[in-house]
Chain A
Amino acid sequence: MSTSVKSLVSQPYKYGFVTDIESDSLPPGLSEDVIRLISAKKNEPEFMLNFRLRAYRQWLKMTEPNWAAVGYPSIDYQKIVYYSAPKQKDKLQSLDEVDPTLLETFEKLGISLSEQKRLSNVAVDAIFDSVSVATTFREKLAEKGVIFCPISEAVHDYPELIEKYLGSVVPVGDNYFAALNSAVFTDGSFVYIPKNTPCPMELSTYFRINNGESGQFERTLIVAEEGSSVTYLEGCTAPMFDTNQLHAAVVELVALDNAEIKYSTVQNWFAGDENGKGGIYNFVTKRGLCQGKNSKISWTQVETGSAITWKYPSCVLIGDNSVGEFYSVALTNHMQQADTGTKMVHIGKNTRSTIISKGISAGKSKNSYRGLVKVGPKAEGTRNYSQCDSMLIGDTAGANTFPYIQVQNNTAQVEHEASTSKIGEDQLFYFQQRGISMEDAISMMISGFCKDVFNQLPMEFAVEADRLLALKLEGSVG
C-alpha cells in the first residue's frame, strides 16, 4: 500500500479511567504464605487450600511458555499484587449496600447493575479487581435451580460441586499460567444449570481491572447438567496504565449429555498506547469439556484489546456426537500482539467441530492464528471444518496462520481453508469515488469480513462488537 495509507493516532481508549476506591491489598509477591493468606482471607475449606498449594508447587517447577509468536520483557512475578479487593462490608444483602462508587464505575462502562432494567434480561456478575462485587437476578435464577454466583461464595455454599469440577477440565498443572491462576485466583463466576433446564436468561460477567499493580486471576466454572443449556457473555475493560498488567484467567466448561453451552467474549482490555507502552498481558486458558453424548460447546470471541493475547479456547469432545465450535475475530492495531486460536480434540465417535477465525491486523501489530485439530484413534466418523482468514490493513502489520492437524483415525474428515486479504488502496478509492469516506469504507469491509462470527453473537453484543472494531481502527488508515 502506498504512502497515503499510514497509521494516524487512534481514538483514545474510552474505558481508561481509574476509580478512586480504597482497597484491601496484599503486598506484592508470591509465596506459600501469600497463598495461605489469600485462602484464609476467603475463609476457604481445606480442599481449596490444598488445591492452591498443589498448583503453586507445580508452578514453581514449570517455565513460562515461549512458543507463541509474541515477544515481551520477562515478567517479575514477585512484583505483582496477588490480592486486591475493594473495601466494602463483608456480606452484602442487596445491591443497595454496594459502594456507590463501584456501581458508578459499572454504569460508566455501560453495565447497569441496578436491577431496574429487568427488560434487558441479562443477569450480571461484576468483578472489580479480583473480587465479585455484585451479581444480579440471583433469586430469579434460583427459582429454576440455576446457580449464578461468585466462585468465592460457591466454594462455601456448594463445596461438593466445586470440589468435583474445579480443575477437572484444566488441571492445576495444565500450563504455566493456569497453574499460577489455580494457586492465586481470588474470584470469578460459578454457574450451575440443573438437569433439563434451559437457563431462563443470558448470564454475563463483567471484568474490570482497577489496581495498577494487581494481576487479575479470575476463575470461571460452568457446569451444564444433562439436557440443560446456557448462554454466557463476558466483557472486559481496564484503566490505562503505562505499566503492563497481567491477566491470567482460567475458564472451565463442562457439558453433560445433551447439554449446550454458548460462551461469548468481547475482550477490550487496555491495549497499550500506539507506541506499545502499557496494556494488559492477557494469558488465558479456556477449555470446554463435552463430556456427555450430543453435548455442544460453542466459543465466540471478539478480541480487540490487550497488549498481548495468548488464548486458545478449546473443546475436548469426549461424548459421542458432541459438537465443538470456535468463532473468533481478533483485531490488532499499533503494537499489539495476538497469538490466538483453538484446540479441538476429538475423542468420541461422530464428533464434529467448526473453526472460523478472522484476524485483522493494522498498524505494526502481529496477529497469529494457532489451532490444533486432533482426532484420536477411536473417534470414528469425526468431521472438522476450519477456516482461517486474515486481513491486513496497511503494509506494516503481520499475520500468521499455524494450523496443526493430527489425525489417528482414517474415517475422519478434516478440512482447512485459509485466506489472506488486504484492504487495498484501490478498494478504498472505489468507495471514496462513490462518496463514502475512508473510515466508513473500512468499517463496511471489516463488518463484512467478520459477518460469519458476528452472526454467532447475541444481537446487542454483535452491534457492540461492530462499533468496537470501527472505533479501534479509527485513524488506522489515512
Chain B
Amino acid sequence: MIRENSDVILSVQDLVAEVEGTEILKGVTLKVRAGEIHTVMGLNGSGKSTFSKVLAGHPDYTVTGGTITYRGQDLLELEPEDRARAGIFLAFQYPLEIPGVSNLDFLRVAYNARQAHHGHEELDAFDFDELVRDKLDVVKMDASFLGRSVNEGFSGGEKKRNEILQMALLEPTLAILDETDSGLDIDALKIVAEGVNQLATPDNAMLVITHYQRLLNYVVPDYVHVMAGGRIVRTGGKELALELEERGYEWLSDVAEATAR
C-alpha cells in the first residue's frame, strides 16, 4: 500500500558490494516506506540474492561503497544479530538445517533475544509455547514441527513455511524474502503467500525477491524493480512483472549494459 508520507524504513544509496574480491552490486539505489511491498526481480546472477544478504549483514559480503539507512540509522554499523533484533528479517532461499537444536528452542531463543533488545519481558517455556501455537496457523503447520530439529529432514516446502513461521513470530519491520517461492508446489506457494499477506501491515514493509512472476499472483507488490548487472535497471508497478513474464529479461539486460557503458 503506497502512502505519500509514511515513514522511510529502508534507504539504499549507490550500494556497491563484493564477495571474495568480485564486485556483484554496482550501485543499487532503493527506498522502501512503511506499508509497501517491493519486489526485486531478475535473472540468476543479477545480484538480487547478494542484495538480500548484504542487507542482513552476511559476513562473506563486503560493502565497498554507498550507504544503507534503516529507520534513520546506519545499518552497516550493526552486527547481523543487531540488525535482526532491530527488525530486519531474511527468509532464506536455502534455510539451514541445525541438527540437535529443536525448532521450539530455536524460536524461543530468537523471540526472547528480540524481546530483550526492546526491553520487553522474555517469555518462559510455557508462555512461549502458547504464543507459538497461535502462530502455527499462519502457515498451517502441525505442532509436531516444533519438536523436530530446526529444518532437519524438512521438505523444501516445510522449510519455507518454517521461515514464514519465524517471520510471524518475530514480527519484523522489514521482511526480506529471498526466492521464498522457488521450489514450491502450488499449494505450498499459496500457504506461503497467504502467510505473507497476513503479516503485511501499514507499519512494516516487505522486499520480495523472486525469479518468477507466479508468486505475484498471490502477493501483490506496490513496486516491481528489475535488477541486472548489479543495478536496479527499471522500476514500475505490478504490471511490470507481467511485462517481464511476456517479454523475458533480455530487453532489460540490454538496457543494463547500455547504462553500464
Question: Measuring CB to CB, which residues of chain A are less than 8 angstroms from any residue of chain B?
Answer: 2, 4, 421, 425-427, 429-438, 440, 444-445, 447-449, 451
Contact = CB atoms under 8 A, between A and B. Distances in A.
Interface stretch (B98-106, B134-142, B226-234): B98-106
B106 to A, nearest CB: 7
Contact of B113 (A425, A426, A435, A447): A435
A210 B100 CA distance: 38
A375 B77 CA distance: 61
Contacts of B49: none
Contacts of B149: 448
Nearest to A426: B96
Nearest to A427: B96
Contact of A448 (B95, B98, B117): B98
Given A436-B81, A451-B100, A430 B59 contact: no
Contacts, number: 78
Interface string B87-114: 0011010011011111001100110011
A353 B59 CA distance: 45
B46 interface: no
Contacts of A436: 81, 106, 109-110, 113
Given A4-B59, A429-B58, A448-B101, A435 B84 contact: yes
Given A431-B98, A434-B166, A445-B98, 19 more contacts: A2-B59, A2-B60, A4-B59, A427-B98, A430-B95, A433-B57, A433-B80, A433-B84, A433-B90, A435-B110, A436-B106, A444-B101, A444-B106, A444-B109, A445-B100, A445-B101, A447-B100, A448-B100, A449-B99
A435 B170 contact: yes
A432 B60 CA distance: 14
Nearest to B85: A435
Interface residues of B, number: 31
A425 B59 contact: yes
Across the A-B interface, the 8 shortest Cβ-Cβ residue pairs: A448-B100, A434-B110, A435-B113, A435-B84, A432-B80, A430-B96, A4-B59, A432-B81
Contacts of B68: none
A440 B85 CA distance: 15
A388 to B, nearest CB: 15
B102 to A, nearest CB: 8
A449 B100 contact: yes
Contacts of A425: 59-60
29 contacts: A2-B59, A2-B60, A4-B59, A425-B59, A426-B96, A429-B58, A429-B80, A430-B92, A431-B98, A431-B110, A432-B79, A432-B84, A433-B89, A433-B92, A434-B106, A434-B113, A434-B166, A434-B170, A435-B84, A435-B113, A435-B114, A435-B170, A436-B106, A437-B81, A444-B101, A448-B98, A448-B99, A448-B100, A449-B99
Contact of B81 (A435, A447, A448, A449): A435
B9 to A, nearest CB: 18
B56 interface: yes
A427 B114 CA distance: 19
Interface in B109-125: 109-110, 113-114, 117
Contacts of A421: 99
Given A430-B98, A433-B56, A434-B170, A440 B80 contact: no
Contacts of A430: 92, 95-96, 98
B48 to A, nearest CB: 17
